[in-house]
Structures are given as C-alpha cells and as structure tokens.
Structure 1
C-alpha cells in the first residue's frame, strides 16, 4: 500500500546525529549557534503505523545532557503523519503534534504552539537519501507563516553495521 505509511521507514535503526542549533531556540532574537553530537535509535510500533524514536546527548556546549523522545503516528484515513516531541529538559510536557506528509522526497509537518509566551508556527522538515543519511530541521514563524527562521538542524548518519529494523506488517 503506497498511502504514505512507509515514508518514515528509513528512520529505523541507530544513528549518529550532528546537531546545529540556536542556543535558545525559543528566543526570536538569538543568533548564537552551538554544535554537538548525539545518538538516536528508532523502531516501529503498531505494525509500522507508528514509530518510537529516542535521542540522547551528553555534550551540548554549555548545557546539561538531555534525552528526547519522538512519537510518530500515521493516520491512514487522512494520509498524514503526526509527530509528538518530549524532552528531559521539560519533564511532564508533551509538545502539540506537528502534522503533515511527504511529497517529492520532502516531509513537511507543522502546527501552532505558544513558546516563551509568544504564538508561533512550528515546522519540521525531513529529507533523506533513503538509506544511510537524513536531515531534519526545525523552523519557527512568528508571523503566521509569512517568514520562517530555522533554529535547529540535525544531520543523521546511520551507525555502521546497524541495519534498519524490520517493519512488522
């Protein structure tokens, strides 16, 4: 079935993640970028209609180590993905899901949120070569989507010898 449910299958397995992010992603005036490495691992759930993805790092410059958790679920009726994010930096909080789909090798997912007391549109964008590398980036818009400011980029490289997990269907 080619309805979009397999669009994230590339993510299964273990990854080294090179992060480049604004030090304060929720500050629209921040201009200081930091870079650090992290590790991630993703596996399918719900027969491939969902994914669980963990990321962890011990070395963000000038920051505490953290762990993040992503839940992705595919809605077969609407043919869209919803992506939720949580982090050890904000215990007990699950961000509202971004929603979207893949078209022409690019996944775009967005939602409305409030960050730092300001209304904001959040956008996740994914691209991949389908096997051993992928890129995720996050952008915010403080003007209802007229302009976007990228604040976090992750370049993922598959860990050698770590084959993607099989999707139970």
Structure 2
C-alpha cells in the first residue's frame, strides 16, 4: 500500500512526516565546490529521524558504509523549531569534521517545500548553503543541497537524496 500526503504542514509539525527510518538513494557531486564538474557518484545510505522531548524538534542520524572516496560516513542533523520566530534551525555534523557543528541553516516550509539557508566558509571560500526538503509523503521524501557563490542569485545543486520509508 502506498499512502501519500501533500505535506502542507508548517510550523512545529512540518518535519513530523519524516520521523522514522529511511532508505536513502544518494547522488552527490564528487567535488561539491566545482560547479563545472560533471562527475557524480551514487550510493545508498540509511537515515533515522527521532522526535525530541516536548516536540522541540528532531534528531537525524545518517550512515553509509559505501560513500565513494570516503567509505564509512556518519552524520547528525539537529533540527529545532523556534515558535517565536516560526522558523526551523538545522545544525549538521559529520565524521568528516569530527567535533564540529556547521552554522545553522534557517528557514521554514511553504506549500510542502522546506527551504533553509546559511552562510558558511568551506575550504576557505565564502558560500551560501541551501537545503531544500520536498516531495514529502508518508513513504517518500527528497532533500537537496546547493551552494551559491553570489549571495543566492544562482544555486548549484551538489547533493540529492531520495528517501523511501523502511518497512517496519
């Protein structure tokens, strides 16, 4: 049975649809900073999203043992909802940069699409980073990461994840 949802939730419950365990198909540019590169890799991973107490947000653990050029890779996303500002903040950390949290991305959902942005410095370059959550449903979700070198005028997508819910 395939259930679907338009996931038009906003505010505190916007990420509820992704709670649970997911199989992830990844497509990632080998050099995420080289917008002219057309070399991409594909691999599988697993994500588990758990609610935080008091519905303050959620925590995602991400793992793969087959990321090309890396092998074993682990990540963690902490997502917190700020009801006073009606925004979500997303912090990311991974096994590639142990002991560090990336600057939080901020944003919200509108008509089933969540857009979150921040400014960061990656490999010495000032970069605007964007996460987009879309196609949210009971059994599927999509996420993409893009970088902008011109303060958001143009975006270069460098990582796409298509998720399907793991069978219970």
| TM-score of the pair, normalised by structure 1 | 0.90
1:127 to partner: Cα distance: 0.9
List alignment gaps of at least 5 residues for structure 1.
Answer: 162-169
- What is the Cα-based RMSD across aligned positions, in Å? 1.3
Tell me what 2:162 maps to: 155
Tell me what 2:6 maps to: none
Q: Say if 2:10 and 2:108, in contact at 8 Å, map to a contact too.
A: no
Tell me the SS of whatever aligns to 2:167.
coil
Give aligned pairs, total: 160
Matches within 5 A, 1:5-154: 5-154=12-161
1:29 to partner: Cα distance: 4.0
Misfit runs of 4+, over 6 Å: none
List alignment gaps of at least 5 residues for structure 2.
Answer: 1-8
Tell me the SS of whatever aligns to 2:163.
strand
| TM-score of the pair, normalised by structure 2 | 0.91
Q: Say if 2:86 and 2:108, in contact at 8 Å, map to a contact too.
A: yes
1:144 to partner: Cα distance: 0.9
Q: Write the deviation string for residues 38-97 of structure 1: whole angstroms up to 9, x where unpaired.
A: 011010003222101001000112322110000000000000000000000111111001
